[in-house]
């Protein structure tokens, strides 16, 4: 039986409404605080995963085959490379590439973020053979200045190497419209944890190019807007025309100065590439060849790189010497060059080269003659 009067009931209802409102407000505040706490926590976790620490000593670590992401994180945590295996697992969640972790022996600098470590383990960078002798089948050496064709000849299946170097998926990583990876396969000595096939080698060379070029862009931030294909093409010309580190920025200056002046580059190396006459002398009739790589007949750069350059030539292409040189010619030592600004200076350098070469040839003939006379006695 309700004994409350009509006057009392509205007051009680109003009091209940106020209480309900306070409860709703309290719930909203708690939800907000919880969301804020989650947001702060997520931000701090993201910082731990992505931000590098203080660089330190190199740490050797072995990633066994078949480990889960959690197990790899524990190995890294045990070696002091990450604070907790959870951060490495978070790095794997943030990664969108889906690339697998490559097992093996690594030497990683401490101070890397978990995301950086994951990238190294996916690409195989910083991978090393364990101390001891390296089996030949696990080591691949690619010298500077080779073409894709020349690289492929070093492998059991040259055709497979060439196919991998023309794979559209790999080319797409560069964002360029090119027929193959000529110029973008970084020379170096590479070590593999198991005998690699041709595609694995191509992928490693491309990954190393991407890494080295990114490092150069960090070193030379003013070059950030430079066209990638142009830079690598110029670097490949430098690689073929010059073998002395100190002269590479000078050769780069000559190339850029001639391009700016609207002069043909007049480089034997581009014709050697077009004709497949690597290291051979270019004859006058060769210079009449109708090819986009004939820089005697066509102005501007060739359509693309003519070899795969090393880091020194890439740096020279990005940072040429500040010189007015328009010409260079070999010296008689077969290594260095004489650089000139005017045609008259260049012509004199050419005459000097021919005189010195003539002397060398006479001396060589004299030695051969004396040798034949001694043999006859």
Domain interval for residue 318: 230-357
Q: Look at residue 109 and tell me if it is in a domain.
A: yes
**Residue (of 248, 217, 220) closest to 310 by Cα position:** 248
Tokens at 92, concatenated: 């794997």
Domain stop point among 70, 102, 123: 123
Count of CB atoms situated within 10 Å of the CB of 361: 10
Domain stop point among 195, 219, 243: 219
| pLDDT at res. 115 | 87
| pLDDT at res. 135 | 64
User: What is residue 319's three-state secondary structure?
Assistant: coil
Task: Please tell me the total number of residues recorded for the chain in this structure.
Answer: 377
pTM score: 0.65
pLDDT in tens, the chain (377 residues): 444 444 445 555 545 445 445 444 544 544 444 544 444 444 455 666 777 777 778 888 888 777 788 889 888 988 889 888 888 988 888 887 777 888 777 888 888 888 889 988 887 766 665 555 556 667 788 999 999 999 999 888 999 999 999 999 999 999 999 999 999 999 988 877 677 889 999 999 999 999 999 999 999 999 989 999 999 999 999 999 998 889 999 999 999 999 999 999 999 999 999 999 887 888 999 999 999 999 999 999 999 999 999 999 999 999 999 999 999 999 988 889 999 999 999 999 999 999 998 988 888 888 877 776 666 66
**CATH code where residue 77 lies:** 3.30.1490.480
| pLDDT at res. 18 | 54
| 244 plus 207 within the same structural domain | no
Q: Look at residue 289 and tell me if it is in a domain.
A: yes
Contact status, residue 237 vs residue 314, Cβ threshold 8 Å: no
Domain stop point among 82, 102, 123: 123
| pLDDT at res. 301 | 97
Cα atoms in the 13 Å half-sphere on the side-chain side of 50: 9
User: What is residue 52's three-state secondary structure?
Assistant: coil
CA 93 centroid distance within chain? 26
User: What is residue 45's three-state secondary structure?
Assistant: helix
| 74 plus 171 within the same structural domain | no
What is the number of domains present in the chain?
3
**Residue (of 234, 260, 259) closest to 314 by Cα position:** 234
| 166 plus 196 within the same structural domain | yes
Q: Look at residue 93 and tell me if it is in a domain.
A: yes
Q: Look at residue 265 and tell me if it is in a domain.
A: yes
Can you point out the beta strands (E) in the chain?
A: 58-63, 104-109, 139-142, 188-191, 327-330, 337-340
Tokens at 78, concatenated: 């045990």
| 342 plus 268 within the same structural domain | yes
| pLDDT at res. 112 | 87
């Amino acid at each position: 039986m309700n004994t409350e009067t009509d006057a009392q009931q509205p007051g009680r209802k109003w009091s209940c409404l106020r209480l309900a409102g306070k409860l709703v407000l309290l719930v909203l505040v708690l939800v907000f605080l919880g969301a804020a706490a989650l947001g702060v926590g997520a931000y701090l976790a993201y910082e731990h995963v992505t931000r590098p620490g203080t660089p330190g000593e190199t740490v050797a670590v072995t990633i066994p085959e078949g480990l889960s992401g959690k197990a790899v994180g524990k190995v890294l945590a045990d070696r002091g490379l990450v604070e907790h295996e959870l951060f490495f697992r978070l790095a794997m969640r943030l990664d969108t590439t889906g690339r697998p972790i490559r097992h093996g022996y690594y030497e990683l600098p401490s101070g890397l973020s978990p995301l950086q470590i994951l990238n190294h383990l996916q690409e195989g960078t910083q991978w090393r053979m364990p101390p001891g002798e390296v089996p030949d089948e696990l080591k691949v050496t690619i010298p500077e200045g080779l073409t894709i064709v020349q690289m492929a000849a070093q492998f059991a299946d040259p055709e497979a190497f060439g196919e991998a170097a023309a794979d559209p998926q790999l080319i797409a990583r560069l964002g360029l419209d090119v027929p193959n990876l000529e110029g973008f396969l970084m020379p170096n000595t590479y070590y593999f944890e198991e005998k690699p096939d041709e595609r694995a080698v191509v992928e490693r060379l491309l990954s190393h190019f991407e890494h080295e070029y990114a490092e150069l862009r960090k070193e030379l931030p003013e070059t950030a807007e430079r066209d990638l294909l142009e830079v690598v093409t110029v670097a490949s010309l430098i690689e073929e025309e010059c073998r002395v580190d100190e002269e590479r920025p000078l050769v780069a200056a000559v190339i850029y100065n001639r391009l700016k002046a609207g002069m043909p580059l007049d480089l034997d190396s581009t014709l050697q590439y077009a004709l497949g006459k690597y290291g051979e002398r270019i004859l006058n009739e060769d210079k009449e060849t109708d090819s986009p790589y004939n820089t005697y007949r066509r102005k501007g750069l060739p359509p693309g790189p003519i070899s795969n350059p090393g880091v020194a030539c890439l740096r020279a292409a990005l940072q040429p010497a500040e010189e007015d040189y328009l010409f260079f010619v070999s010296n008689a030592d077969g290594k260095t060059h004489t650089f000139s600004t005017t045609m008259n200076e260049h012509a004199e350098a050419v005459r000097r080269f021919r005189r010195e070469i003539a002397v060398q040839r006479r001396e060589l003939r004299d030695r051969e003659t004396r040798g034949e006379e001694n043999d006859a006695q």
